[in-house]
Amino acid sequence: MHERAIETIGEPLPESATISPPIIQRAEVVAFCLVALLVLSVVAVLYVARAFFLPVVTAVILGTMLSPAAKRLEAFKVPRPVSAALIVVLTWAAFVLMIGLISVPVMDWFGKLPELGPILKDKLHVFDRPLAIWHQLQALLGTPDTAEPSFQLPKVAWVQPTIEFLSPTFTEILLFFAVLVLFIASWPDLRRGLVMNFPNHESRLRMLRILNAIETNLGGYLLTVTLINAGLGIATGLACAFTHMPNPAGLGGLAATLNFIPIIGPILMFAILLCVGLVAMPTLTGALIAPLAFAVIAFTEGHFITPTIIGRRLSLNALAVFLALAFWTWLWGPMGAFLSSPLLIVGLIVKEHMMPERDQQLPND
């Protein structure tokens, strides 16, 4: 027995029946690196050539949203090119009307900027004492600060660069409207070409379902959000009129327009109402009524009305919405913020059809 045990010491052990942990192969690493480089290259191209891609992508997204309206006009025997031109003209008219409603108070306030400085300093003198305490605390902590303990207004040197950044060039506007009209007019042919480009019946059917879902969801999203924002603008205008704010119609129109930009729009509108209230109202308490009323309206709309209506159509994760907003705003500015939710909806629709969810149970703890 002892000799037999000694002989088996040098023999190889049989293969174990246990499953070895997965090992990352070199091909997987190379594939991951290539995908990462592709994503970085696409982002870099979209950023560098944003003067071309931004109007084109905006026209395609907006054209997809407005395609159901063109289809309805076709049911009344209106030719597709005529319906496309009519829809674009009506959209431009609504945009010009909104700009005209907003531009009057904005230009009026910009003209009064030199006079607003002393008024704001007088209204915000209550913050002198907290600022003085803050400066004293910085001095105790060893941080030198020679600033005077008084409220200082921010400089307005950012106004002109901001306007230049927000204002598209004539070429971009012309490219946007040309692509928008041509896209709406030729969308049925484009959709047919995209579907027939696939070789087999299953792939064609999947592509058709994706295009139909994108068109239906984006069209419903635009109509629903427009109605919700119009209601929010009316409620804001009524609140401003009730609190005796100047030009309540313009403030309501501005609230409706800014609410198309998620998260950033309501915050910016609250800051605008606060500044207008500080200038127009005689007391600080009176200046806070309209901004607080808007905060309640925006909170109700953002947390109850919009999720209830849009959530039935397509649920959007709050973190995904915020990350998409941050990314597209960094990439394309304010128009990127407007496009963030529609692009996220398109991505979710493509993901749902290309990678359908399966009913899988999570393992027990």
For the cut 80, the answer to whether the pLDDT of residue 340 exceeds it is yes
Instruction: Name the token pair of 316.
Output: 């959007």
Mean pLDDT for 244-268 is 87
Q: Between 168 and 154, whose confidence is greater?
A: 168
Instruction: Name the token pair of 336.
Output: 């990127």
For the cut 90, the answer to whether the pLDDT of residue 46 exceeds it is yes
Residue carrying the six token digits 């506007």: 173
Instruction: Tell me if 88 is assigned to some domain.
Output: yes
> CA 354, CA 349: separation in Å to the nearest integer?
9
Indicate the range of 143-152, 166-175, 289-298 predicted with least confidence.
143-152
For residue 119, what pLDDT band results from cuts at 50, 70 and 90?
low
For residue 23, what pLDDT band results from cuts at 50, 70 and 90?
low
For residue 286, what pLDDT band results from cuts at 50, 70 and 90?
confident
Mean pLDDT for 332-357 is 86
- What's residue 249's pLDDT? 87
Instruction: Tell me if 173 is assigned to some domain.
Output: yes
For residue 354, what pLDDT band results from cuts at 50, 70 and 90?
confident
DSSP conformational letter for 214: H
pLDDT digits 0-9 by tens, 53-76: 999 999 999 999 999 888 888 888
- What's residue 151's pLDDT? 45
Q: What is the mean pLDDT of the chain?
A: 79
Report the number of distinct structural domains present in the chain.
1
Range of the domain at 72: 32-123+168-354
Contact 104, 250 (CB under 8 A): yes
For residue 10, what pLDDT band results from cuts at 50, 70 and 90?
low
In order of 232, 263, 273, 275, 349, the CA distances from 294 in angstroms are 9, 14, 8, 13, 33
Indicate the range of 193-202, 204-213, 305-314 predicted with least confidence.
305-314
- What's residue 122's pLDDT? 64
Instruction: Tell me if 361 is assigned to some domain.
Output: no
Instruction: Tell me if 229 is assigned to some domain.
Output: yes
* Percentage of the residues of the chain whose pLDDT score is greater than 90: 29
For the cut 70, the answer to whether the pLDDT of residue 22 exceeds it is no
- What's residue 156's pLDDT? 47
Instruction: Tell me if 25 is assigned to some domain.
Output: no
Instruction: Tell me if 144 is assigned to some domain.
Output: no
Instruction: Tell me if 17 is assigned to some domain.
Output: no
- What's residue 150's pLDDT? 46
SS3 155: coil
Instruction: Tell me if 348 is assigned to some domain.
Output: yes
- Least Cα distance to 258 among 219, 230, 291, 224 occurs for 230
> CA 124, CA 131: separation in Å to the nearest integer?
11
Indicate the range of 218-227, 259-268, 308-317 predicted with least confidence.
308-317
- Write down the pTM of the prediction: 0.73
